[in-house]
Amino acid sequence: MINSSILESPIDYLKGIGPLKGDLLRKELNIHSFEDLLNHFPLRHIDRTQVNFISEINFNTDFIQVKGYIDDWQVLGVGRAKRLVAQLKDKSGDLELVWFQGANWIEKMLERRVEWLVYGKISFFNSKAQMSHPEMEIAADINVEGMPFLEPIYPTTEKLKTRGLNGRQIGKLVYNLLPQINAKDLPENIPQHLVETLRLTPRLKAYCDIHYPPSQEYYQQALRRLKFEELFIAQIRHNLTRVRRNRHSRGIRFESVGQLFNTFYEKYLPFTLTGAQKRVLKEIRQDTARGHQMNRLLQGDVGSGKTIVALLGMLLAADNGYQSCMMAPTEILAQQHFAGLSELLKGLPVEIRILTGSTKAKVRRDILKELEEGLVQLVVGTHAIIEEKVKFKSLGLAIVDEQHRFGVAQRAKLWSKAAIPPHVLVMTATPIPRTLAMTAYGDLDYSIMDELPPGRQPITTIHRTDIHRMKVMEFVRSEIDKGRQVYVIYPLIEESEKLSYEDLMQGYEQVKTYFPEHKYKISMVHGRQPAEQKEENMRRFVNGETEIMVSTTVIEVGVNVPNASVMIIESSEKFGLSQLHQLRGRVGRGSEKSYCVLLTGQKLSNDARERIKIMCATNDGFKIAEKDLELRGPGEIEGTKQSGALNFKLASLINDREILEAAKLYAERLVEDDENMDKAENLPLKNYLLATKGKTAWSKIS
């Protein structure tokens, strides 16, 4: 919010809006005040000097403006197919205009023998050019002399259009508002030296130019400035939170590396750590020795070996007399971590337990007691760990596997489990693009593991359509005959659990026809099974008792069966990129050559084709994440959906990376240099942050 009186005025007070329109603006566009209107940015600008003749329309141009008469129109179709079709004529030719919604009121609005100025996008229907839902103005109403030639067009709704607030008319409201605003209302909030170094348009001017720019260039400059401001302020907030926490929070100090860590490292570590694992371990070591709370996000590509890093972290805690917990998103994963960690810890005097929703009451009681008395150093589990009843004697480190399914609020619950907040290490196995991580998790310190353990062979990924299933199954058989194991995955059909289940069952029957039961053993796992059955099936596959795992995506994250070398993904066109990558990551975890077969139907959408192409081209999770972001946009990336941190009004995390990088760099420097913003040059920013209090960690602390 901008701290200023005129901007806080209710929208009804603006010339041209009465209580009726005011109500509509509030309801339809969430515009309550002058300030909200000012922050309602145009979608685009029409160059009013550019009017095309119909015969000269270049169909490749995005938006065009034409002028002409409408003498003829008809309402066609009924119900949802109802549409209004009108013929716009100028002296060079005619163009069809179509409205699918609001046919009735458009019809009322249309007038013969009046010259219309029509603006919109050309599309083709049955090879015929048409313009649907154009912006319409009576040409004579537009006084070209007095008005700016770049006219803004605003987002609006059908309902507003019917009440005289189309995209252009909203522009007139803004036009009335702008002259009433002065520099006091919109004080500069970026330090002057940055405004100069980066040649940013000053704030007030940027607001004027984004709405009514004197030229396209001014508009671009205004846009750049406001995008920078948006990202810069967000980065300042993140940095303040992080720096304040790193400098001022009280944290447990893990003074030394002790016997448990050293013995494990020297005697039991089954392999040499990769460079990336060593680096991250060092970061954790440094973070936990400072006496401030660690909040670190560890992004590792699938199979990069995060578990061992987590374990070494937990041993470090145990060496210093602290307990640790490790939380997984699903029961299966918790079980698997527990089994894996117990195996690794066999020779060491470390007590480890598992706590999940299905832990029996008596066992649970015992575990809770042991945790409270400090008899157990390590507990692995699901969300069950953060339940209120669970108390620790001295929780020092909390590891959260798969941040994507574990929100900030739940992280906060963990903190409340100890007098001094425990160190938190969040591990994600689905890489998030750097730009997203920077914005969504900018308050966390950030480590990357982009190196796979040595000896891994790249997974070969191929795409086959259904008709080649037979051949694919023959290949599967040859791999099983070599002693390998195989996954066959079916998609979860979101709309219906029942459909997913039927799909899977059909698949299971089909797999059985290729691999008869007397010769091959099959495990099946799906969401509808009771937990015990699920685990039993999982266990048999993990132990190599079954050769084939037929499953829905419950298998997606973290499952580790190094002997599995083939991943068949059925209907793979239904999966998103990061999910495909996760699934593929279930193979290629041993030293055998592994394969991933993406089965699809014959017909693929362009997007699906693109996804399959990328999967076949690269194994690099970070590259795939970037592509995913490009294809789906930030809002859709799993786990970040609810994160308001990604909802920027102007900036795009895909197209404005350079601005984001700059915002990050300068925000980091500024906070590093003047955390309390006492320097005169930072006062405008400080004032702005204080005026927008509640949104910044800084203002809470100050």
Ligand X SMILES: Nc1ncnc2c1ncn2[C@@H]1O[C@H](COP(=O)(O)OP(=O)(O)OP(=O)(O)O)[C@@H](O)[C@H]1O
- Pick 343 or 387: Cβ nearer ligand X: 343
Residue of 229, 247, 252 lying closest to 688 (CA atoms): 229
Which residues lie closer than 8 Å to 654 by C-beta, 6 or more apart?
435, 629, 630, 633, 634
Q: Residues 536 to 595: which contact ligand X by CB under 6 A?
A: 558, 560, 562, 585, 589
CB neighbour class for 563 (10 Å; exposed up to 12, middle 13-18, buried from 19) = middle
Region near ligand X per CB under 6 A, out of 8-16, 225-233, 302-310, 681-689 = 302-310
Tell me: does residue 306 bind ligand X (CB under 6 A): yes
Residue 246: CB minimum distance to ligand X, A: 26
d(CA 537, CA 533): 6
Tell me: does residue 489 bind ligand X (CB under 6 A): no
Largest CA distance in the chain: 93
Using CB under 6 A as the binding criterion, the count of chain residues that bind ligand X stands at 20
Beta strand segments in 62-114, E: 63-76, 83-90, 93-99
Find how far residue 382's CA is from the centre of its chain.
23
- Pick 563 or 692: Cβ nearer ligand X: 563
- Pick 98 or 332: Cβ nearer ligand X: 332
Beta carbons of 167 and 155 less than 8 angstroms apart: yes
Tell me: does residue 274 bind ligand X (CB under 6 A): yes
d(CA 209, CA 207): 6
- Pick 173 or 302: Cβ nearer ligand X: 302
Beta carbons of 491 and 574 less than 8 angstroms apart: yes
Q: Are strands 44-47 and 150-153 parallel, antiparallel or unpaired?
A: antiparallel
Residue 645: CB minimum distance to ligand X, A: 24
β-bridge mates for residue 4, sequence order: none
Residue 366: CB minimum distance to ligand X, A: 29
- Pick 189 or 403: Cβ nearer ligand X: 403
Tell me: does residue 304 bind ligand X (CB under 6 A): yes
Region near ligand X per CB under 6 A, out of 303-311, 389-397, 597-605, 693-701 = 303-311
Beta carbons of 398 and 423 less than 8 angstroms apart: yes
> Encoding tokens for residue 518?
């007397």
Q: Single out the residue of 57, 198, 273, 339 in contact with ligand X (rule: CB under 6 A).
A: 273
Helix 331-344 to helix 306-319 angle (10° resolution) is: 60
- Pick 198 or 273: Cβ nearer ligand X: 273
Tell me: does residue 624 bind ligand X (CB under 6 A): no
Tell me: does residue 10 bind ligand X (CB under 6 A): no
Tell me: does residue 453 bind ligand X (CB under 6 A): yes
Residue 583: CB minimum distance to ligand X, A: 10
Please give the residue whose beta carbon sits closest to ligand X in the complex: 305
- Pick 304 or 330: Cβ nearer ligand X: 304
Q: Residues 428 to 447: which contact ligand X by CB under 6 A?
A: 429
Site map (CB under 6 A) of ligand X, residues 401-430, x = contact: ----------------------------x-
For the chain, state the CA radius of gyration: 31
Find how far residue 465's CA is from the centre of its chain.
30
- Pick 227 or 306: Cβ nearer ligand X: 306
d(CA 702, CA 694): 12
Which residues lie closer than 8 Å to 382 by C-beta, 6 or more apart?
327, 328, 329, 330, 331, 334, 355, 356, 357
Region near ligand X per CB under 6 A, out of 3-11, 119-127, 265-273, 465-473 = 265-273
Please give the backbone phi and psi of residue 255, each rounded to the nearest 5 degrees, phi first: -65, -45
Tell me: does residue 302 bind ligand X (CB under 6 A): yes
Which residues lie closer than 8 Å to 337 by C-beta, 6 or more apart?
307, 326, 328, 380, 401, 558
- Pick 277 or 600: Cβ nearer ligand X: 277
- Pick 257 or 273: Cβ nearer ligand X: 273
Beta strand segments in 571-695, E: 595-600
- Pick 18 or 270: Cβ nearer ligand X: 270
Which residues lie closer than 8 Å to 652 by C-beta, 6 or more apart?
none
> Encoding tokens for residue 320?
């210093």
Residue 340: CB minimum distance to ligand X, A: 7
Beta carbons of 221 and 198 less than 8 angstroms apart: no
Residue 331: CB minimum distance to ligand X, A: 16
Tell me: does residue 527 bind ligand X (CB under 6 A): no
CB neighbour class for 603 (10 Å; exposed up to 12, middle 13-18, buried from 19) = exposed
Tell me: does residue 268 bind ligand X (CB under 6 A): no
SS3 assignment, position 252: coil
- Pick 169 or 277: Cβ nearer ligand X: 277
Residue of 606, 653, 663, 660 lying closest to 630 (CA atoms): 653
Residue 208: CB minimum distance to ligand X, A: 50
Residue 571: CB minimum distance to ligand X, A: 22
Tell me: does residue 300 bind ligand X (CB under 6 A): yes
Residue 277: CB minimum distance to ligand X, A: 6
- Pick 235 or 277: Cβ nearer ligand X: 277
- Pick 13 or 271: Cβ nearer ligand X: 271
Residue 295: CB minimum distance to ligand X, A: 20
Residue 619: CB minimum distance to ligand X, A: 12
Beta carbons of 465 and 600 less than 8 angstroms apart: yes
> Encoding tokens for residue 517?
């039961």
Tell me: does residue 271 bind ligand X (CB under 6 A): yes
Binding site for ligand X (CB under 6 A): 271-274, 277, 300, 302-308, 429, 453, 558, 560, 562, 585, 589
